[in-house]
Amino acid sequence: MAAAAGLAPRLVAADIYALPAGLGQHDLVLITIGVLNWMPDLPAFFAAVQSLLAPGGRLVIYETHPFLEVFEPHADQPLVPRYSYFRCEPLVSTDLITYDGLDHGQGAPSYWHIHTLGAIVTACLDAGLRLQRLEEHPHSNREADYDGYIGQTAQLPMSFTLVAQRPTA
């Protein structure tokens, strides 16, 4: 796709909390499925994101709604809340993370940080970004496990889109 568009993207593997110099500033930063839950420090994360945006540049987040994180889709009663929406400590799991609904076995411990929608929006604003849009969706953007929550009589928020902009001055 890059060649067809006449582009030569530079792929960088780095710690978001300690980005290397020279990454430049960009018109768009896109964050999608599951990124925010790997971030233990939202204010530092959004400060890094803001530093990557050019003046007038936009941040677009299309992410799983944090309210969905209170449920356990494999529980006997998958619609009964299992975790607090306001949980502060990360969920620790040795299950390999997949998005296809299949069991891929065990691996090293992973740490899943549940952030409220208010914490996400506040960290974005505190980083100096201007909120342009926040939309919640009744559809899943995630692994097949969560598809069972689609089409409920009392529909859960399953994903959201947030658009923010770095001010030009």
Q: Determine the pLDDT at residue 148.
A: 80
Q: Determine the pLDDT at residue 31.
A: 95
pLDDT digits (tens, 9 = 90+) for 14-42: 999 999 999 999 999 999 988 999 999 99
pLDDT digits (tens, 9 = 90+) for 38-93: 999 999 999 999 999 999 999 999 999 999 889 888 899 988 999 999 999 998 98
Among residues of the chain, what percentage have pLDDT more than 70? 97
Radius of gyration (Cα) for the chain, nearest Å? 17
d(CA 156, CA 152): 7
In the predicted model, what is the mean pLDDT of residues 104-127? 93
